[in-house]
């Protein structure tokens, strides 16, 4: 069973195509890095996964369950996410934000709150209002929220944006731990390619709404190619072919 | 649904709302007494009519504040992205919010009608300056039109949801208030007119249903 299966997905805004006939498979337990320049269509695709945007054509399945275009998607209980930016209730403290999250997804998870706060290094500021948090702290809190239910899939849109080098290292270790210990599939987008190279199993490159390539990182590295170099090569090559 | 309402209640720390409502009732009581003193026998001659007008106008504004806090802010602050990632029906999430706004506004306005009318009924027995009278038909009319005013008060939400704007919500509410109160305190104000409130109440309710349906069927551009 695949964690994510996307078939012939097309999406346009006011006549402008932002995703064109995208096919993609994220296998259970793998870390899939989704690379692309700004405006390539990464966040749009992630929003389509959660029915925040409606596809023009094509289908999306999460763990073999088709994402319903309306109403209730039970499978979302198995998915932790950060979509676009780390959003929180600014008037609430870190711990209150997590408590509200648990109220929505399962009150029994409240006992995990101290543990995840410790894990993302926010235990000392748990009673501080999120409105006073830096971007990096908000990212950490969003990750804590995404992890808390030990989901089968993490969908993370630029999760290391705004983090300092120490923070990036911590989050990298955390993602690897979650992936190894719980077999959580991770679908991650980031511009920090050097970090992606350290954790990804599979690389998907999208440009101007077109999926250019999906390959195991190992295969890319076999040719002694540096991922950043490879990314530039694929994107430029893709544009020249258009 | 009740669970979702409870979460929103907690999320927006609404436990202090009854205190705010009591404060509003005290202000309305003071204003009613002043209006009767200033305009008694000229434009208006009955405490219950003043209470009705003041409660309806003030709660139109209160309702729009609740709408911006409980509904619009989720879109403006993009926290709706988070809510939509939960394994809960999107329709239920939105309806729970609207229900909370309606229930709070209804509770506020109806409790105000009961409390203040009883208060002035008692006061007029001891203070002859206070003129108070109410018939069973008026009790029904005040109650029914209050419910309709709460539905009318949902119209600003429909406008605010177009661009997820708190300003548009508040401005629409103020426009409705100005048109409805007719800038007058006599009995000829529109908000005291049953036909006006019932018509616009129904329009408010229909617009809300349309607006929620539209929200669920279109792209969420936050």
- Residue A192 sits at the chain B interface (C-beta within 8 Å): no
pLDDT tens column, B8-20: 999 998 989 999 9
- Beta-carbon separation of A53 and B79 below 8 A: no
Ordered by start, the domain boundaries in chain B are 2-214
Q: How far apart are CA A60 and CA A7, in angstroms?
A: 7
> Is the model more confident about B43 or about A218?
A218
Set of chain A residues whose Cβ sits within 8 Å of the Cβ of B88: 72, 104
pLDDT at A185 over 80: yes
In chain A, positions 5-24, which contact chain B (CB-CB < 8 Å)?
13
Chain A residue with the nearest C-alpha to that of B214: A70
> Is the model more confident about B23 or about A173?
B23
- Residue A131 sits at the chain B interface (C-beta within 8 Å): no
- In this complex, the residue of B85, B91, B218 whose CB is nearest that of residue A76 is B85
Which neighbouring-strand residues pair with A203?
Answer: A33, A215
- The pairing of strands A153-157 and A202-207 is unpaired
- Beta-carbon separation of A87 and B82 below 8 A: yes
pLDDT at A242 over 60: no
Q: How far apart are CA B118 and CA B112, in angstroms?
A: 10
Set of chain B residues whose Cβ sits within 8 Å of the Cβ of A90: 77
Sign of CA dihedral B58, B61, B10, B94: positive
- In this complex, the residue of A77, A89, A103 whose CB is nearest that of residue B79 is A89
Q: How confident is the model at residue B94 (pLDDT cuts 50, 70, 90)?
A: very high
Ordered by start, the domain boundaries in chain A are 2-241
Cα three-residue angle A197-A201-A204, rounded to 5 degrees: 80
The reply to whether the predicted model has a pTM over 0.90 is no
Instruction: Tell me the nearest-neighbour CA distance from B65 into chain A, angstroms.
Output: 16
What kind of fold does domain A2-241 have according to CATH? Rossmann fold (3.40.50)
For an interface test with B, the pick among A87, A91, A96, A109 (most B C-beta atoms closer than 10 Å) comes out as: A87
Q: How far apart are CA A236 and CA A242, in angstroms?
A: 10
Instruction: Tell me the nearest-neighbour CA distance from A52 into chain B, angstroms.
Output: 5
- The pairing of strands A31-35 and A202-207 is parallel
Set of chain A residues whose Cβ sits within 8 Å of the Cβ of B13: 91
DSSP assignment of B180-197 equals: HHTT--STT-GGG-HHHH
- Beta-carbon separation of A71 and B90 below 8 A: yes
Instruction: Tell me the nearest-neighbour CA distance from B93 into chain A, angstroms.
Output: 10
- Beta-carbon separation of B10 and A76 below 8 A: no
pLDDT tens column, A199-210: 899 999 898 888
- Residue A74 sits at the chain B interface (C-beta within 8 Å): yes
The segment with the largest mean pLDDT, out of A172-176, B31-35, B93-97, B135-139, is: B93-97
Set of chain B residues whose Cβ sits within 8 Å of the Cβ of A152: none
Q: How confident is the model at residue B177 (pLDDT cuts 50, 70, 90)?
A: confident
Helix (H) or strand (E) holding A12: strand A2-13
| ipTM of the complex model | 0.84
Structure confidence at residue B145 (pLDDT)? 86
Cα three-residue angle A135-B69-A131, rounded to 5 degrees: 20
pLDDT at B188 over 70: no
Sign of CA dihedral A189, A195, A199, A200: positive
């Amino acid at each position: 069973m695949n964690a994510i299966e996307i078939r012939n997905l097309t999406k346009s805004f006011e006549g402008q195509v932002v995703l064109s006939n995208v096919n993609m498979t994220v296998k259970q337990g793998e870390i899939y890095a989704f690379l692309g320049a700004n405006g390539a269509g990464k966040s749009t695709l992630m929003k389509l996964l959660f029915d925040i945007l409606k596809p023009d054509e094509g289908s999306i399945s999460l763990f073999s369950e088709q994402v319903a275009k309306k109403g209730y998607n039970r499978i979302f209980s198995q998915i932790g996410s950060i979509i676009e930016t780390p959003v929180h209730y600014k008037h609430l403290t870190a711990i209150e934000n997590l408590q509200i999250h648990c109220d929505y997804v399962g009150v029994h998870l409240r006992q995990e709150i101290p543990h995840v706060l410790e894990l993302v290094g926010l235990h000392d500021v748990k009673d501080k209002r999120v409105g006073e948090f830096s971007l990096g702290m908000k990212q950490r809190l969003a990750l804590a929220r995404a992890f808390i239910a030990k989901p089968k899939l993490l969908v993370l849109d630029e999760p290391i944006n705004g983090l300092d080098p120490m923070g990036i290292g911590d989050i990298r270790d955390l993602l690897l731990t979650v992936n190894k210990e719980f077999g959580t599939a991770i679908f991650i987008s980031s511009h920090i390619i050097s970090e992606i190279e350290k954790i990804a199993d599979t690389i998907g490159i999208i440009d101007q709404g077109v999926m250019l390539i999906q390959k195991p990182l190992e295969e890319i590295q076999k040719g002694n190619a540096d991922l950043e170099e490879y990314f530039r090569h694929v994107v430029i090559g893709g544009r020249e072919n258009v | 649904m009740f669970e979702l309402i409870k979460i929103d209640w907690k999320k927006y720390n609404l436990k202090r709302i009854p205190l705010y409502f009591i404060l509003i009732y005290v202000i309305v009581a003071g204003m009613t007494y002043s209006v009767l003193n200033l305009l008694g026998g000229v434009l208006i001659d009955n405490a219950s009519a003043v209470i009705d007008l003041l409660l309806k106008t003030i709660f139109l504004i209160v309702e729009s504040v609740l709408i911006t806090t409980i509904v619009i802010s989720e879109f403006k602050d993009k926290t709706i992205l988070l809510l939509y990632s939960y394994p809960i029906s999107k329709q239920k999430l939105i309806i729970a919010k609207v229900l909370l706004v309606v229930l709070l506004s209804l509770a506020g306005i109806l409790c105000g009608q009961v409390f203040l009318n009883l208060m002035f009924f008692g006061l007029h027995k001891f203070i002859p300056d206070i003129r108070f009278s109410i018939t069973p038909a008026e009790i029904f009319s005040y109650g029914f039109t209050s419910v309709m005013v709460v539905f009318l008060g949902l119209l600003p939400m429909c406008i605010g949801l177009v661009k997820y704007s708190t300003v548009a919500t508040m401005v629409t509410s103020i426009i409705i208030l100005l048109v409805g109160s007719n800038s007058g305190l006599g009995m000829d104000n529109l908000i005291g007119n049953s036909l006006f409130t019932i018509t616009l109440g129904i329009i408010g309710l229909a617009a809300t249903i349309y607006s929620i349906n539209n929200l669920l069927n279109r792209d969420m551009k936050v």
